[in-house]
Amino acid sequence: MKFIGAKDSGKVVIFGVPYDGTTCFRPGARFAPDGVRFFSENLETYSPALNRDLSSVEFTDAGNLEVSALPEKMVEEVEDFVNRIEIPVMIGGEHSVTYPVVRSLKKSYNNLTIVHFDAHADLRDEYSGTKFSHACVVRRILELGCRIVQVGVRSGTREEFKLIKEHPLIEKVDIKDLPQRLMEEQFVYFTVDIDYFDPAFAPGTGTPEPCGGSPVEFFEILYNLPPVKVVGFDVVEVSPPYDPSGVTRMLAAKIIREMILKFWGGEPC
C-alpha cells in the first residue's frame, strides 16, 4: 500500500516508522503508517485550496522501515535510512522517531529551525529509563543546536516550561504569528504531533490533551506560510486503535497531501 499519488521517482520520499517502543500511556502508534496510507486512498490528489495536484509532483513512497525495539538502536537505523535520501516525509510512529531524522538533516543544514506542533513540550532529559523517549525528543534535538519554534504546547513539567522561557534557542509562538515568524528562517523542518489538535478533531492518539488547535486554523496558516526552504516534515503519534471512525488518520493523510503540495507542488494548475 502506498500513499495516494506516490510514484517511484523524485527527491521527496515518504516512509513510515511503525514504532511505539517508548510510549508511556496508550500504545498503538506503530499501526499509523499503514493506517494513514489506507485513508489517503479516500483523498483526491487535487487540492482545491492550493490549486495543485499530486499527479504533478514527483515523490516516492518507500514503505515502512523495520526498526529495532530498543530506542537507541531505532535511532541509528532511522538515521542511516535518512542519510540516503534527500527530502524526508515521515509517518510515525511515536514522536521519538523524529530525532534521528533531524540528526541526519543537521549534517547538511547547519541553520536548521524545527517547527514543533504539539500539545506536549517533549523536553524531559530522560523518561522511563531512556534519553530517547518520545517525551525527550525535543530535548535531544535542542542539543543538536537547532532552533525550536513551538506551537500549541500546553502540557509539561514545571522544569520544561522554565526551559522554554529561558533557553535562547526555544520560542513558543501563537500559530497566527507563525507566517511572520518564519520570514527570516533559512531551513525549516516541520514535526506535527497529531495531539497538537484538540481531541474533538483528533481523538486517535496515545496522549490526548484538551484545548488544542483546530484543523481549519492549521490549514489556513499552512497556506499562508512564506516561501521558506522546507527540508522535510513528519506527522507522528496517530494511534489507530483509538481512532474508530478514522477521522484522525484522515486528518493526518490530508496534512501530508497539503504539505507536499504547499512546499513542493510547483506552480498552481
Q: Per-residue pLDDT tens for 61-98? A: 999 999 999 999 999 999 999 999 999 999 999 999 99
pLDDT at 246: 98
Residue 179, domain member (yes or no): no
Whether the pLDDT of residue 6 is over 90: the answer is: yes
Closest-CA residue to 240 (of 89, 44, 33, 65): 33
Calculate the CA dihedral of residues 166, 115, 123, 73 and round it to 10 degrees. -140
Residue 207, domain member (yes or no): yes
| Percent share of the chain, pLDDT over 90 | 92
Residue 156, domain member (yes or no): no
pLDDT-derived band of residue 192, with 50, 70 and 90 as boundaries? very high
Q: What is the mean pLDDT of residues 122-128?
A: 92
The CATH number given to whatever domain includes residue 24 is: 3.40.800.10
Output the pTM of the full model: 0.96
Residue 108, domain member (yes or no): yes
Residue 259, domain member (yes or no): yes
Residue 162, domain member (yes or no): no
pLDDT at 245: 97
Whether the pLDDT of residue 217 is over 90: the answer is: yes
pLDDT at 48: 97
**143-163 pLDDT per residue, tens:** 999 999 999 999 999 999 999
Longest CA–CA separation in the chain, Å: 51
pLDDT at 102: 98
Q: What is the mean pLDDT of the chain?
A: 96
Residue 44, domain member (yes or no): yes
Residue 125, domain member (yes or no): no
Q: In a 3-state reduction of DSSP, which class is residue 229?
A: strand
Whether the pLDDT of residue 169 is over 90: the answer is: yes
Sign of CA dihedral 126, 132, 138, 140: positive
Q: Which domain holds residue 89?
A: 12-115+185-264
Domain count, the chain: 1
DSSP-H helix ranges across the chain? 32-40, 71-82, 98-106, 137-143, 158-166, 178-181, 215-223, 247-264
